[in-house]
Amino acid sequence: MAVDGEIADVFVVEAGSDLAASSRYASWRADWDEAIRAGLRFSRGMNFGLSQLWNEQKFGNYEAFLLLPNDVEFSEGSILRPLVHDLDMHSKIGIISPCSDQWGERNLIPEAGVRYFWFIHNTALMLRREFIQSIANFEAADYMNFLFDGRNFRGYACEMELIAKAYANDWAAAISRKVSVRKNETHLLSKADLIKTEPYEENLLLYIEEGRRWLRQKYGFNSRWSMQLYTKYFYDKFFEFHPELQEFKI
Amino acid sequence: MLIASRRQIDSDEFGGGYVEHWTTREFASYIRENDKRGNIFLARDHGGPWQNPAEISASLGLRDAMESAKRSYAADIDAGFQILHIDPSIDPYGSPRTEDVLDRVFELYEFCCSYAGQKNREVAFEIGTEEQSGTTSSQQELRETLKQVFEFTEANDLPGPSFVVVQTGTRVMEARNVGTFDSPIRVVGEVPAEILLPKMIEICNSFKILMKEHNTDYLSDESLAWHPRLGIHSANVAPEFGVAESRAFLNLCREQGRSDLGDQFLQISLDSQKWKKWMLPNSLASDEARAIIAGHYIFSDERFMSIKQSLQDHCSKKAIEVDSFLRSAVKTAVMRYVSLFRLAN
């Protein structure tokens, strides 16, 4: 925030069970039994934060929201300005993600450039407010329903669903090489007991199992490939409708 | 399609390959005799200079290696091979530039077309290489390669290639597929198959060339079942079937109370060191797992044949035919693909 502080506010969702170890920067605390017992994870955590902003009538104060889990690290320098600049330059982008030097996609994007994708990992997603407004559940603005489907607890494939909703509603999802991001899983790998979560391998299995079950129950999709083709269909249609953006298609 | 690499099957000049020590001619004759319905296509996998280890150990230079590769292709065409993979990507003297690889492709392509014409044979071509990197062929590389190859074939009035090897996110290490195709989570440094695959298929379709996936082994049933639906035209499977045969042999030895024979097989295979190229860095695989990975490289070894004969002698009392047992195991492995690719009910 030393770099981008003047153009951003930071909100922290705290869902830890150990009050003594809670973040002193917490904006809101998930204090109900289930959250204390199991935590919130990505989908519920982001829903909780965003819905709190909505319920506190602060949502409209912002043009975009950068969703960050706590194991995300950025390269030095400004994070927000380049991404906001990309949003300004690309009015159809609803979701933009920084790129990682660990991603092969890096080679598909020109240096400091932007390309539109139908598949992006949810490491650090910046969402345009208008995009959220076009798909969010304002009737149930809570940690289960606001933007992501909270029934998918660990969130496998939740970003696929978000991107599908974007293209289905005439918004694009992009990766920008102006900002570099990296997930630091060291804590999950070596300090799972302190975080009071499952060990890495177990968490991974549950993440995939739960996500697959959710895909099946919600969409009748038995494979991630079904979701991919579903999203890719809308992606291709987007460019039929916006041929002027063809140069950003991968 | 039965697709033999030059290590597996090669012409008399190279003393055959490690599969039954067959020469190209012997291999083709065997298939013709046994392919009663004429369903099998014979194909060369990774033909080209230095693709036979003998060309490397003889320290052949480029010219000699190219001539040697041409003689190998000529033997393929003489034997009735119908699909030839032109892959001059190997060079023991350093990584060749793309232009150099393409020049070699063109020279070999032209030679094969001309030789096949002289012999009144019809051959189809496969181009490209996979190198098992996971994402070797970037979209740009693939598009440029196809563009140049088709320009070459059109300019020279040659038939265009039928297949191109494309990376789809498959990669075989040890006895599993570690690429992105089967991985629901990110593989560091690689483009997720979710992105890579549709793009590669789009490019192949735009050039009206069939995509050939290499390293399909060990993919899950779910992934295989998606192949035809995703538009993957053909897939190459190799070590999985060899491993199925090795496992079946070992199991039979143990079931029949002849673990001693199984142990001998494992030891010869382990000593062959042929498993080395398949191992992951810092692998924790046991000696048995390593030996099973390399088992098929020693099926033609006299020591193995003697072990197999001993097992057959032992099993004969119970009317078990070892070869038939092994065939059945390989058939089961093959049928998984046939069924999931919906090639048969």
Share of chain A above pLDDT 70, in %: 93
Mean pLDDT, rounded, for A171-185: 91
Q: 10 Å Cβ neighbour count for B212? A: 28
Q: Which pLDDT tens digit goes with each residue over B171-180?
A: 999 999 998 8
Give me the interface pTM, i.e. the ipTM.
Answer: 0.83
Q: Does B222 touch chain A if contact means CB atoms closer than 8 Å? A: yes
CA distance B169 to chain A (A): 11
Give B26-29's long-range contacts (Cβ < 8 A, gap of 24+): B27/B79, B28/B79, B28/B80, B28/B81, B29/B79
Contact A104 B191 (CB under 8 A): yes
Among chain A residues, CA nearest to B220: A223
* Cβ-defined contact of B195 to A117 (cutoff 8 Å): yes
Which chain A residues touch B230 with a CB distance below 8 Å? 225, 229
CA A193 to chain B, closest CA, distance in angstroms equals 23
Q: Supply the pLDDT for residue B136.
A: 41
For testing the chain B interface, which of A100, A108, A205 should be mutated: the one with the most B CBs within 10 Å?
Answer: A108
Task: Give the mean model confidence (pLDDT) for residues A4-24.
Answer: 84
pLDDT recorded at residue B131: 59
Q: Do B195 and A107 touch (CB under 8 A)?
A: no
Are A102 and B189 an interchain contact pair (Cβ–Cβ within 8 Å)?
yes
pLDDT of residue A4 exceeding 90, the answer is: no
From A91's Cα to the closest Cα of chain B, the distance in A is: 23
Give the pLDDT score at B273: 97
> With a cut of 70, which residues of chain B have pLDDT below it?
130-137
- Cβ contact A127:A192 at 8 Å: no
Please give the CATH architecture assigned to the domain spanning B2-238.
Alpha-Beta Barrel (3.20)
| Domain A2-248 architecture | Alpha-Beta Complex (3.90)
By Cβ distance, the residue of A156, A222, A225 closest to B230 is A225
- pLDDT bin (cut points 50, 70, 90) of residue A192 is low
CB B150 within 8 A of CB B109: no
Report how far residue A179's alpha carbon sits from residue A111's, in angstroms, rounded to the nearest whole number. Answer: 10
Structure confidence by residue, pLDDT tens digits, A41-90: 999 999 999 999 999 999 999 999 999 988 888 888 899 999 999 999 99
Look up tokens 């003297």; give the residue.
B93
Cβ–Cβ < 8 Å for B174, B285: yes
Domain locations in chain B? 2-238, 240-340
pLDDT score, position B138: 75
The overall average pLDDT reported for chain A is 91
Residue A127: is its pLDDT beyond 60? yes
Q: How many A/B residue pairs have CB atoms within 8 Å?
A: 51
pTM of the predicted model, to two decimals? Answer: 0.85
Give residue A38's pLDDT: 86
Q: What is the DSSP string of B13-52?
A: GGT--SSTT-BHHHHHHHHHHH-TT--PPEEEEEESTT-S
Separation CA A84–CA A137 (nearest Å): 25
Which of B164, B166, B8, B167 lies closest to B86, judged by CA?
Answer: B164
pLDDT at A194: 59
CA angle A150, A156, A162 (to 5 degrees): 65
Across the interface, of B135, B198, B230, the residue whose CB is closest to A104 is B135
pLDDT in tens, A44-53: 999 999 999 9
- CB contact (8 A) between residue B191 and residue A119: no
pLDDT in tens, A217-226: 999 999 999 9
Q: Which residue has the higher pLDDT, A211 or A191?
A: A211
Q: How confident is the model at residue A19 (pLDDT cuts 50, 70, 90)?
A: confident
Which neighbouring-strand residues pair with B234?
A: B212
Q: How far apart are CA B105 and CA A46, in angstroms?
A: 54
